[in-house]
């Protein structure tokens, strides 16, 4: 459905896109949005079932947020936080976050994206362990299929092959352990808890082989989003937490997708019952109206860096847009709306409804597994459900997504997992519409291509 003149030169190097496929098909150009709907350039309406890139939690066209941004721009379009400078919106936002976070005593570093938040996490670990005289404690363990961003360092945390290939990633010092993918990797008859124990045995072996004194931190998304909406198996996080405590390893909680209500609680770590040492946040922090990320660290970590900063003359890390005042004002407004409108409780209620409705697809011939919690879900397409045999790569997922587009539904395929992650403000009738359109799309994908269940 290209609306870009096919004889024109498309002037963009597109992010996370198959260049050749896009040249053949052209870009899909969206023109405007309202609530949970978007309209393309030709005027066709879509239910936006992916909240953009897991981020537009309050939907599109929110006048109150637009007004807040306009006012903030009029008041002070820019102010920075270098060299002891600050501003009210940034301070109030940090205060608000530290009140909300499930951490006892924290301080906030602001950035602009999830990737830079995770870069900051890595740099803070290095700085901190150098500061406390443990310079050998530097490695970071992530998981296969994790997604933590695409900069050189956060891309090294990411465990998805396409984000590494040809970029010479991961960099040294980044390790990847088992992804806890119960549906794909469990053995016949193995319970979720037994499976969780098994993957944690592999992790413990890795820690012992590498040497616990060389490992600074373990990073995890509560639900692995871009890797295929992978939920932690029963008991995984509490046992992981205990294992990391045993070896004195930090747990970095990447809440870039789960943070701010996605799983029905404010943070994913609350849903899955674990205590983070540090946290990364972005996306729904501003409902994606403005770019903003935040890293929360414990007070003890901050205090350990004070003397070294004084010796060096400064903490040599910060972005021009760290705590941008317009983004901070927007985030404050978004957090106010979450609270005022009980958005997280609404997400929990709508989430239960969505999950229950999606379960009907378990019987669909193309579907092997339906999983999710709150307002995030994955419908995993499978050639043979019994033997968990996947389709040939690159066919089933894109075919279903193309059918969704035809039916006026925006979703995203992660390989053969159809990801569903609507704005948190979605209502029951809108969920009915989403599920109905997805059902039609699965049927037509099956008919058109002869995809076999």
Convert residues 320-359 into a mask of x (bound to ligand PLP by CB under 6 A) and - (unbound).
----------------------------------------
Q: Which is nearer to ligand PLP, 53 or 152 (CB)?
A: 53
Q: How far apart are CA 368 and CA 354, in angstroms?
A: 18
Number of residues that bind ligand PLP (CB under 6 A): 15
Q: Which residue is nearest to ligand PLP (CB)?
A: 114
Residues in a beta bridge with 419: 378, 412
Convert residues 15-54 into a mask of x (bound to ligand PLP by CB under 6 A) and - (unbound).
--------------------------------------x-
| Interaction of residue 276 with ligand PLP, rule CB under 6 A | no
Query: Three-state DSSP class for 33?
Result: strand
The separation between CA 18 and the C-alpha centre of its own chain, rounded to angstroms, equals: 21
Q: How far apart are CA 277 and CA 217, in angstroms?
A: 9
Q: Which is nearer to ligand PLP, 417 or 435 (CB)?
A: 417
> Tokens 């102010």 correspond to what residue?
79
Question: 3-class secondary structure for 37-75?
Answer: EEEECCCCEEEECCHHHHCCCCCECCHHHHHHHHHHHHH
Q: Which stretch binds ligand PLP (CB under 6 A): 77-85, 136-144, 219-227, 242-250?
A: 219-227
Q: Which stretch binds ligand PLP (CB under 6 A): 1-9, 127-135, 254-262, 358-366?
A: 254-262
Interacting residues with ligand PLP between 177 and 206 (CB under 6 A): none
Ordered strands of the 139-143 beta sheet: 106-111, 293-298, 278-281, 250-254, 215-220, 139-143, 174-177
Query: Three-state DSSP class for 35?
Result: strand
CB 254 to ligand PLP: min, Å: 5
| Interaction of residue 152 with ligand PLP, rule CB under 6 A | no
- Tell me the Cα Rg of the chain: 22
8 Å CB contact between 261 and 423: no
Interacting residues with ligand PLP between 97 and 116 (CB under 6 A): 113-115
Contacts 24+ apart (CB under 8 A), 23-27: 25/1, 26/1, 26/2, 27/2, 27/3
| Interaction of residue 254 with ligand PLP, rule CB under 6 A | yes
Q: Which is nearer to ligand PLP, 334 or 451 (CB)?
A: 334
Q: Which is nearer to ligand PLP, 367 or 376 (CB)?
A: 376
CB 394 to ligand PLP: min, Å: 21
For binding to ligand PLP (CB under 6 A), which residues are involved?
53, 113-115, 118, 147-149, 221, 225-226, 254, 256-257, 282
């Amino acid at each position: 459905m290209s609306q870009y003149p096919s004889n024109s030169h498309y002037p963009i190097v597109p992010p996370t896109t198959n260049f050749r496929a896009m040249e053949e098909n052209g870009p899909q150009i969206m023109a405007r949005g309202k609530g949970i709907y978007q309209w393309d350039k030709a005027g066709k309406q879509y239910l936006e079932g992916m909240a953009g890139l897991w981020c537009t939690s309050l939907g599109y066209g929110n006048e109150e947020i637009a007004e807040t941004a306009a006012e903030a721009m009029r008041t002070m379009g820019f102010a920075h936080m270098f060299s002891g400078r600050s501003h009210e919106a940034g301070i109030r936002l940090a205060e608000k976050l530290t009140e909300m976070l499930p951490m006892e005593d924290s301080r906030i570093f602001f950035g602009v994206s999830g990737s830079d938040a995770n870069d900051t996490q890595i740099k803070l670990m290095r700085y901190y362990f150098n500061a406390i005289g443990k310079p050998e404690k530097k490695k970071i363990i992530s998981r296969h299929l994790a997604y933590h961003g695409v900069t050189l360092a956060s891309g090294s945390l990411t465990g998805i092959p396409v984000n590494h290939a040809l970029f010479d990633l991961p960099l040294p010092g980044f390790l990847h352990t088992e992804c806890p993918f119960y549906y794909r990797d469990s053995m016949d008859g193995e319970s979720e808890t037994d499976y969780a124990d098994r993957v944690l045995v592999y992790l413990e072996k890795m820690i012992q082989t590498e040497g616990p004194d060389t490992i600074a931190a373990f990073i995890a998304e509560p639900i692995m989003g871009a890797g295929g909406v992978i939920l932690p198996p029963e008991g995984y996080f509490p046992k992981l937490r205990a294992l990391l405590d045993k070896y004195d390893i930090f747990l970095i909680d990447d809440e870039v997708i789960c943070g701010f209500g996605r799983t029905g609680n404010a943070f994913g770590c609350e849903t899955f019952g674990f205590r983070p040492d540090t946290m990364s946040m972005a996306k729904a922090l501003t409902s994606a109206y403005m770019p903003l990320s935040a890293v929360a660290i414990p007070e003890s970590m901050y205090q350990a860096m004070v003397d070294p900063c004084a010796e060096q003359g400064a903490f040599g890390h910060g972005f021009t847009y760290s705590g941008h005042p317009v983004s901070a004002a927007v985030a404050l407004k978004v957090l106010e709306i979450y609270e005022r409108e009980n958005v997280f409780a609404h997400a929990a209620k709508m989430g239960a409804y969505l999950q229950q409705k999606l379960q009907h697809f378990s019987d669909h011939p193309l579907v092997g597994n339906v999983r999710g919690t709150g307002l995030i879900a994955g419908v995993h397409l499978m050639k043979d459900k019994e033997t968990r045999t996947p389709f040939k790569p690159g066919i089933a997922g894109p075919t279903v997504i193309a059918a969704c587009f035809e039916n006026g539904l925006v979703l995203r395929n992660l390989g053969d997992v159809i990801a569903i992650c609507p704005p948190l403000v979605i209502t029951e009738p809108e969920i009915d519409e989403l599920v109905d359109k997805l059902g039609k799309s699965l049927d037509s994908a099956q008919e058109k291509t002869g995809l076999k269940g």
